[in-house]
Amino acid sequence: MSLRQASGTFSNPTCFLLLVSFLLSCSFSLSAAAQSCGSQGVAVQVLGSGGPELQDKRASSSYLVWENGQARVLVDAGGGSALRFGESGAQMSQLDVILFTHFHVDHSGDFPTLIFSSWFGDRKRPLPIYGPPGNDFMPSTTEFVSDLFGDKHGAYRYLSELLVPGEEGSYKMQPHNVVVSETPVTVFRSGDLAASAVRVFHGAVPALAWRVEIGGKVLVFSGDTNGEGEGLVRLAMNADLFIAHNAVPEGAVGIERRLHMPPSVIGQIAEDAKVKRLVLSHRMLRTLGTEDQTQSEIKKRYLGPVVFANDLDCFPVR
């Protein structure tokens, strides 16, 4: 029934206006509810559930870890994630740390957008940023941040006050290169929060997977990886939530397989690590539509709950 039709059924206009106002207040309370991820306890909110393609109509890779209404950890910041960050209700001043898995554009493109937004916020404390070291193909984390915000050659050097010591900024970014192997190493602690990393394999790109322990819960982010090696299983051991990247379908070969893990490998890692819940993200045009096959390949190896992520989905961890 349209509003015009509805108005016809009400002989009393006041009655009709009351109904409209009731319906509007319902829709506002629903949207307010959508912004309350992690208001109590720990939750992961998916800011970007897509990959690099824009036609997937998803923001690229990015996740927020919430605890008791505070957005404490940001993992990656792919294109579109800054808009989702705003939609989530998070503030840059709330973040304890930013963790990067690697510096492909679909994991880092909105980082400067988020930093510029923070310039208008009330952040006063340093912002630690952890990510992989560099090689001939990719900058290290410290290079990535200074390539953007360094005072001499940074693309956005007009914001160098947020990086360069001695300049008058409201806060400073503190970038760190995380050099690790396949044994998990804890690189950041703050109160009840700890972040640990292992190296993972993603072609020639230096890449990390992250384990975030917070409020007694364990959240693990695979990032992009082909699943080789033992590091990811060690890192994900007994995780409450394992967010794995479903970037290729079963049977992928060539460059796709060298970069990403197919569903059978995701399922085996989830099983070996005894994770309690599996979330599939980084969904791409080649995996969207193959969910049934993906699910059945995973179920052959891992019998726990499996969920496909969408932008702004909230996964409370109880």
What is the contact surface with Zn ion in residues (CB under 5 A)? 106, 224
Cβ at position 213, least distance to Zn ion in Å = 24
Listed residue (273, 196, 204, 275) closest to 242, CA to CA: 275
Cβ at position 137, least distance to Zn ion in Å = 15
Q: Report which secondary-structure segment, H or E, holds 214.
A: strand 207-214
First to last CA, the chain: 40
Closer CB to Zn ion, residue 269 or residue 284?
284
Closer CB to Zn ion, residue 52 or residue 69?
52
Closer CB to Zn ion, residue 224 or residue 311?
224
Distance of CA 183 to the CA centre of its chain: 23
Closer CB to Zn ion, residue 146 or residue 294?
294
Closer CB to Zn ion, residue 182 or residue 256?
256
Listed residue (86, 85, 74, 275) closest to 188, CA to CA: 74
Cβ at position 101, least distance to Zn ion in Å = 8
Closer CB to Zn ion, residue 224 or residue 297?
224
Cβ at position 2, least distance to Zn ion in Å = 43
Residue 27: half-sphere exposure toward Cβ, Cα within 13 Å: 5
Closer CB to Zn ion, residue 157 or residue 286?
286
Cβ at position 78, least distance to Zn ion in Å = 7
- Cα radius of gyration (the chain): 21
Counting other chains too, the contacts that 197-200 makes at CB distance below 8 Å and 24 or more residues apart are 197/99, 197/130, 197/235, 198/231, 198/232, 198/234, 198/235, 199/132, 199/229, 199/231, 200/101, 200/224, 200/225, 200/229, 200/231, 200/232
Q: What are phi and psi of 64, to 5 degrees?
A: -115, 135
Cβ at position 308, least distance to Zn ion in Å = 16
Closer CB to Zn ion, residue 56 or residue 224?
224
Positive or negative: CA dihedral 54, 113, 107, 317: negative
Q: Report which secondary-structure segment, H or E, holds 269.
A: helix 263-272
Cβ at position 35, least distance to Zn ion in Å = 26
Neighbours of 197 (CB within 10 A): 27
Closer CB to Zn ion, residue 102 or residue 211?
102
Q: What are phi and psi of 131, to 5 degrees?
A: -165, -175
Cβ at position 111, least distance to Zn ion in Å = 14
3-class DSSP state of 231? helix
Neighbours of 240 (CB within 10 A): 18
Cβ at position 248, least distance to Zn ion in Å = 11
Pairing of strands 70-75, 62-67: antiparallel
